[in-house]
Chains A and B, each alone.
Chain A
Amino acid sequence: MADELMLEIVTPEKMAFSGNVEDVTIPGTEGEFGVLRGHEAFLTSVDIGQLVFTKNNKKTHYAVNTGYAEVTANKVTVLIETAERSDYIDKNRARRAKENAEARLEKIAKDSDEFEKARAALMRAIVRLNVAEK
């Protein structure tokens, strides 16, 4: 118990996860970072990526979208706009989304606003696919 960490994953739709975990890895904007109990309190933004936590020696993967993470010594709160657990991801849909995004990226100019949007969509699709395969 002593080295457990309280993790809360909050999305606008619901509390995606709430419970004690052994460790958690979060895709921060400044790079991925791992948190164990007793971590220095800090606040950072979260990017599109993969969130992994270990509970009872079992890893659980989530595909997450932008948000932020608040870390205190015994509690981590992750506020993100979407969070999908690996076993809920529809692989075929993710693959299609990836193909669509790739096709769109081909067509548009690099400096347009659309480009950034399409790039983010592609990122999300890739992350979702990776997570789904875990």
Chain B
Amino acid sequence: MLSGRGRTKIRAPRRGGTSAEEVDFNTTWIELQQSFTAIHTKDASGLSYEQLYRHAYRIVLRKKGDVLYKNVQDFEQKHLSTVVRPHFQSVLPPPLLVHLSPSMGGSTVSERRELGKHFLAQLRTIWEDHRLSMGMIADVLMYMDRVYCADQKRASIYDTSMSQFRNCILFSSADPVDKDGINVIGVLTKVILDQIQMERNGDIIENHLIKGCVYMLEALYIDSGLEVDENKLYNAQFEEEFLEASRKFYLAEGQQMLQAPDAGSYAANTMKRIRQETDRCRSTLLESTTPKIVKVVEDSLIRDQLKDLIEAETGVRYMIDNERLDLLHMIYDLNKRVDENKTELTKAVTGRILELGADLNKGVMAVSAVSSDTTADGGKVSAAGQQTLAALKWVEEVLQLKDRFDNILGLSFEGDLKLQTAQNRSFHEFINSQLFSRSAEYISLFIDENMKKGIKGKSENEIDTVLEKAITLLRYVQDKDLFERYYKKHLCKRLLMNKSLSNDVEKQMISRMKIELGNNFTLKLEAMFRDMTISGELTTGYKEHVARLGDADPRRVELAINVLTSMTWPLESMSSNNDREDQTKKMQCNYPGAIERIKLGFEKYYSEKHSGRKLTWQANLGTADIRATFPGKDGTKERKHELNVSTYAMIILMLFNDVPARHSLSFEEIQARTNIPKNELVRNLQSLAIAPKTRILIKEPMSKDIRASDQFLFNEGFQGKFHKIKIGVVMAANRVEGEAERRDTQKRNDDSRGFCIEAALVRIMKQRKELTHAHLFTETISLLNSQFRPDLAMIKKKVESLIEREYLERIEDENTPSYRYLA
């Protein structure tokens, strides 16, 4: 093969043209030059590309590339400086230069606009022309670019001519007379800024003209050697000045707007400006400027002013109070621009929540203060009622407040997480405020109220919302243990007095709490429900048991019983304990014979079922239905009434069964025979003998108070409108606690906290064996945090007591104070 190929002769390529065509360089160049001139005057239709290209090709082939390159350069230089520049300068309106001088005296805006437009149009035209012509020339000289420039590492002829344009036109003086005057690019910058300024002031300008010139600035570099973005004329010469001028403008505008600070319109204006600048970058300048100019606006209109803005009279506070969600959203947006954390807005919002919350707290405190003044004497009932109403109102209002801010958060703050936590924190803060310690009680009261009345006639969904709301509030409460205490108390009363409307809802509530606060929290509450169920079974069981005994005594007393586990039921707090010694004595009152028999009968029945349990009868919690007969006299008929009374009242009334008619008993006698605690006796006698509608007994002498010396007499002349009469005892409803009660609850709560803390301490130490003081304390606090915030002094005291009881000991030779667990 190789030898075969060797034989065929490779034909030498025909040299470019014969010697006849072998034209000399100068002739060729003149021809090229003429063509270039034609191209510059847009008269290329007669030219043959192939011919020109071939000329350049030949020249380069003859190693004359350097001469050609230089000639073209010189040619362009000459063209620019002798044709283009003078033309440009001649069409430039001289007044423009005057107008652009610092003293802008006398020129109106519209004059300036027209002149600027003219200038921009001219500049754009010569730029476009130059670009087009050079494109063509560079095309013709492609072979030179490809071979000569690439070999010699010179810039392509197109790029070179662009730099020439820059130097010759843009960097030359705009004023043909004054050679050192402002150069064209300076004028251009000023004109563009001027035009933009006009647009900012509401004028219409020719964006595409500016855009054309901006493209030119973008295409040219300040230094031909370094073609990086920062070196573009646009970035190097124009952008900086543009940003600076904008800064000045917006700072001034900001100052002016703040003169009459209407936060809403300020925010709206700022938003508008940002939008405008973004649009302007798109339509007039370059998109790459957008972030920079937006930042300038943000810096000069928002960053420093935002604080004033938010705190202004018409600021965030006003917006919140007047539900100006749109304005709040704008403020949010502005703040988000300059501050990732939205500190100022958060501060304002949380501040407002705290203020409103404090107002609510103050409101309810004021009610309780007023009523506690009047509590001293008889007005106690209504005062407590008022307080309860205030408490319910407080809860409602807190919920409303919460709804309001949730609304604002959702609609205005885009559900911002940071703001949400901040809002939650502020709710938390005012609900657990040091000055206001009743939130746990009030929330429990709120649930109580709803369980008793609120949910009547509501659909399941509505009930759900109520429960959800209650849980929301509960989430904020710090002292969960205190809440549990109150809730237990209120639940206890609801259950025992059958006040609860729906067992299902009660159970739902508890399961919700379980989800929210954990198993521990609801353990006892659930046990209470269990007790109620078991009691129901016991009652029916006992009834059957009695029926089986065959003791069909028509005068038999029916018994419904609730057996309550003493650990889970807050029985101690049920009795009103104005004098606590009654309680400590655990007095058992004397039941009338018939009742006593029943009681013994049940005790027997119960101990058969569950051996080893002791029943304590809580007469203060029970009620009885008794049938009373009032004899007719003086023409009135004999009347029968069914009286629903408390257990104690029943005992008192049955006492009178054994007393001869019109015979009276003294207070002391009643007390001695019944052994009812004194304060209970007083209260029951009050409702039996003083309350006007249920005066079953007559008191001698008639007065408002019960004294030890008073005599009581069965009121044979009692008249009632209804067959069934309910004789209430004062303690019936759940209401706000009085001062003494509160102190008591507080104390009891502190006691149980003490146990919790001790338990936590021991648990931690058992696990760790040795621990430093600081560690132990932080762990204890974090362990207990779900229930309550432990008091440091209390922890300290408990540690001391554990050391005393030799559960712990101090480690002696240790730098930091530490403890050791003693197993």
A and B found bound together: no
On B, residues with C-beta under 8 Å from A are none
On A, residues with C-beta under 8 Å from B are none
